[in-house]
Structure 1
Amino acid sequence: MKNHSLLATLVLAFLSSWSFALPTRVVVRAKAKDAKFIGTGIGGAYVVIRHTLSGEILAKGTTTGASGNTELIMKLPHQRNARLTDDQTARFEVTLELQEPTFVSVEVTAPVSRKSAAITTSTQLWLIPGKDIDGDGLIVEIPGFILDILEPQTHQVIGGNTLINGKLKIRINLVMMCGCVINKGGIWDSTPIQVAALVKKDGKPLPPINLAFTGEDNLFEGFLSTKEKGNYEIQVYAFDTVTKNTGVDKINFVVQ
């Protein structure tokens, strides 16, 4: 009987140990495809951690911090298990109290302050009580570009005095999802990036217009002949022929 009592006590002690939650630190980072981490400078990435089965939100918040070390991330060879980040690199960090292994979904939307360009990416993993996901943490890749049409402006009414030799300038700003600069021959080189405007007049497509890099950081431009009055739509896309990153913006305007 004594042996049975001792065994029962040990079993109860083991089971009771699982009834207490253990603090579990989780670090999530958003990294732009072919670029650096998405942090405070570009508005951050919004992170939601959910219990996969119940849908309960266990944590949510925005990544904060710097975009990271350019030399380390973009130039040096990456060795297995070597850190890509440091204490200043942007992250969302939370400590969860877990009683048992928990299967979670992690959803990341970035850059959160640029709704027209934001991409949502998600992944899943098991969280084990007391086993921290720290260091580089969970890195979620965010593909794409942030593309903004600067000229013409949304719903701008354009008259003859706005035109240059009968043509309307189309000018856009293009940056990486982390806010990194695109220029000629730089780390993020403009050369392999194709930028074009798809134009419609009163709903009917016109020939596409190629936009060339201007020589100023992030800026591309081209010209549209606008002799005819009407309602116009411009959809500009960017496509990197090497990395396959893409970005799009669209506006409408009027020529009278």
Structure 2
Amino acid sequence: MKILILITALLFSNLTISATETKVMIRAKARDAKFIGTSLGGAHIIIRNKLNQRILAEGNTSGSTGNTDLIMKTPKVRGNSIADDHTGGFMAAIDIDEPTFVTVEVISPLNSKQAQAVVTTELWLIPGKHILGEGIILEIPGYIIDILKPRTHQYISLKTIQDKPFQFQANIVMMCGCVIEKGGVWNSDEIEVKGILKRDGKFVKNIDMSLVSTNLFEGSYLLTIPGNYELVLYAYHEKTGNTGVDKVNYVVFE
């Protein structure tokens, strides 16, 4: 019996020793923008064994959004990294004993559900062959849009409006949290922002939204008829194909 236990222990020990730690840096980068790091709550990373779907590593990216000049203004040259030691990422340490085909899944932005996108890629991991430096970069398209006014299911009395146009407001940022401003790196003049207004399920009007301060867009419309309203607000950038949407429902009464 003791011999059997010893043999089992030796076999288990050999299996444990044969597994080799393999490090992989995973980063999430907003399309036409910077990396997703701590300031935005991070992107969630899941690495799975493709064969059996077992999770090998999981966590959130952390760090800075990166160097704006390096990422956005410096021409990309083969071999030159756009990430440094402070740039947001998730370092996975995975124990494998043979080449393993994995799926890498990025869920981002983690804390903005209405803008959340899932992006995946697949690759072979080789025991002890680390993937460091810039690592594996997955691109997250879109915009994060938060309608600030009206509030969700807000009741608005026509008497309080007093025949004045009702003001709509929305905050819009890149998927890394980078700012949108007039003439900036992410130029508001190049982004089409509009609201599609409906009343009782029927189209009413397209609302033009304009930048009034960093990230803040406003538009207005004279509400004169009671009903159940819905505002679907979108942002669109033709050059990159970036899009984003937020929706809100509210009630107008007499």
TM-score when normalising by structure 1 = 0.90
CA RMSD of aligned residues (A): 1.6
4+ residue segments displaced more than 4 Å = 16-19
Supply the distance in 2 between the matched residues of 1:253 and 1:30 (Cα, whole angstroms). 35
Q: 2:236 aligns with which of 230, 233, 239?
A: 239
Q: Which amino acid aligns with 2:219?
A: G
- Aligned partners of 1:24 and 1:129 also within 8 Å: yes
Supply the distance in 2 between the matched residues of 1:254 and 1:26 (Cα, whole angstroms). 50
Q: Using the TM superposition, give the Cα deviation of residue 161 of structure 1 relative to its aligned residue in structure 2, in angstroms.
A: 4.9
Instruction: Look up the match of 2:121.
Output: 123
Q: Which amino acid aligns with 2:22?
A: T
Query: CA 1:17–1:116 in structure 2 vs 1: closer, same or farther (change >3 Å)?
Result: closer
* Count of paired positions: 240
Q: Which amino acid aligns with 1:103?
A: F
Q: Which amino acid aligns with 2:83?
A: T
- Aligned partners of 1:23 and 1:95 also within 8 Å: yes
Write the deviation string for residues 66-91 of structure 1: whole angstroms up to 9, x where unpaired. 00011100111111011111111111
Residue 224 (str. 1) matches residue 221 (str. 2): yes
- Aligned partners of 2:37 and 2:61 also within 8 Å: yes
Write the deviation string for residues 48-75 of structure 1: whole angstroms up to 9, x where unpaired. 0011121111111000000001110011
Supply the distance in 1 between the matched residues of 2:252 and 2:179 (Cα, whole angstroms). 33
Instruction: Look up the match of 2:156.
Output: 158
Instruction: Look up the match of 2:66.
Output: 68
Unaligned runs of 5+ in 1: 1-15
Q: Any residues of structure 2 matched to 1:172-211 within 5 Å, and which? A: 172-211=170-209
Q: Greater CA deviation, 37-46 or 152-161?
A: 152-161
Q: Which amino acid aligns with 1:112?
A: L
Q: Greater CA deviation, 153-162 or 46-55?
A: 153-162
Q: Using the TM superposition, give the Cα deviation of residue 164 of structure 1 relative to its aligned residue in structure 2, in angstroms.
A: 6.6
- Aligned partners of 1:160 and 1:166 also within 8 Å: no
Write the deviation string for residues 2-43 of structure 1: whole angstroms up to 9, x where unpaired. xxxxxxxxxxxxxx8998111110110000000000000001
Identity %: 49
